[in-house]
Amino acid sequence: MISIVSLLVVIFLSILITRIATIALTHTGLTRESAKFQARSAFSGAGFTTSESEMVVNHPVRRRIVMLLILIGNAGIVAAVSTLILGFVQRGDASSLTLRIGLLIGGICVLWGFASSHWVDRWLSRIIDGMLNRFTRLNITDYASLLHLTGEYRLAELKIRESDWLAGRLIKDSRLRNEGINVLAVRRPDGTFIGNPVGDTLLQRGDALVLYGRIEAIEELDRRKAGFAGDQEHKEAVREQEEVLQEEAEKDASSGKRAD
C-alpha cells in the first residue's frame, strides 16, 4: 500500500515540476502552449525535434531549464517504475491486489483532474509566477540588456492555429493595440519575416507573431478561439486594458505631484 501511495506522490511531483518549468519557460518569451509542450517533452525524454526545440536549445536560459528537466525526469521515471513494480509484486490475497489497483486508478484519476483543472491551473500559476519573479532573475537575464522589460510586460511569441481568434484577420481589424498588445513582427510558415507589420497585414494559420504587452493579456489571447465567445473575450480584454491605462495614469499623476 505504501508503494502505491509513493507512486502517486511521484506522479504529483512530476506534474508540479513540469508546471513550474512551463511557467519558467514562458518567462523567457515562449507562449504557454509551446512552453508546456517543451517542458513535458523534456521531462518525459520524448525528444521531439521541432523549430521550437531549436529555439530552446539555442537559448541559454531555456537550455538550462530543459537540461534540469531531463535530469529530474530520468530519475522520476526510474523511481515511478520501481515503485510500481514493488507495489504489485508484494505477496497478498486477491482482495489486497484489487484494493491496490483501485487505489492506483483512483489516485491517478484525482491527479488527472488536478492537472486538467483550469481553476487549479490559474491558482498554481499565480503562485509559481510570483515565486519566480521574487526568487529568480529570468526576466533580467533575458531582456534587460536588450529592451529593459520589467514587471508584467514581456516579449513573447504566439503561433496562430486554425481555430484561433486571430486566424484570417487583418492586424488593424484585430485591434490588439486596444488590448495593450503590440505586434512587432510576423514570421510566415515558409520563413518569410515581416518586421513592424502594417495594419493591412493578414494573419494566417501557422504564422508566428512576436508580441509585446502584458503577459497575462498575451496568454489570454493565445487561448482565445474564433467565434462569438472570442469576440466577447476581446471586448473584455479591451475593457481590462482601459482599467490598466487608468491605473497607470493615476500612478503617473501621483508620482508627478510628489516630484513637485
Q: What is the pLDDT of residue 145?
A: 40
* Averaged pLDDT for residues 128-132: 70
- Rounded Cα distance between 176 and 217, Å, is 10
Q: What is the pLDDT of residue 252?
A: 81
Model-level pTM? Answer: 0.49
CA distance from start to end of the chain: 70
pLDDT band at 199 (very low <50, low <70, confident <90, very high): very high
- Rounded Cα distance between 179 and 185, Å, is 17
Q: What is the pLDDT of residue 233?
A: 94
* Averaged pLDDT for residues 122-137: 69
Contact in structure between 165 and 154 (CB atoms under 8 Å): no
Average confidence score pLDDT of the chain: 77
* Averaged pLDDT for residues 170-196: 93
Q: What is the pLDDT of residue 142?
A: 45
- Rounded Cα distance between 93 and 115, Å, is 33
110 has a pLDDT exceeding 60: yes
- Rounded Cα distance between 127 and 131, Å, is 6
**pLDDT higher for 129 or 187?**
187
- The three-state secondary structure class of 64 is helix
Tell me the domain boundaries of the chain: 2-135, 156-259
Percent of the chain's residues with pLDDT above 90: 29
143 has a pLDDT exceeding 50: no
State how far the alpha carbon of 142 is from the alpha carbons of 61, 73, 74, 145, 192, in Å: 8, 25, 28, 8, 25
Q: What sections of the chain are H helices per DSSP?
A: 2-26, 32-44, 51-57, 60-89, 94-116, 118-135, 138-139, 171-174, 215-223, 228-259
* Averaged pLDDT for residues 178-205: 93
**pLDDT higher for 87 or 153?**
153
* Averaged pLDDT for residues 209-238: 92
- Rounded Cα distance between 236 and 239, Å, is 5
Q: What is the pLDDT of residue 3?
A: 63
Task: Specify the CATH number for 156-259; select among 3.20.20.140, 3.30.70.1450, 3.30.470.20, 3.40.50.150.
Answer: 3.30.70.1450
**pLDDT higher for 63 or 187?**
187
β-bridge mates for residue 208, sequence order: 159, 187
* Averaged pLDDT for residues 175-194: 92
Q: What is the pLDDT of residue 69?
A: 81
pLDDT band at 184 (very low <50, low <70, confident <90, very high): very high
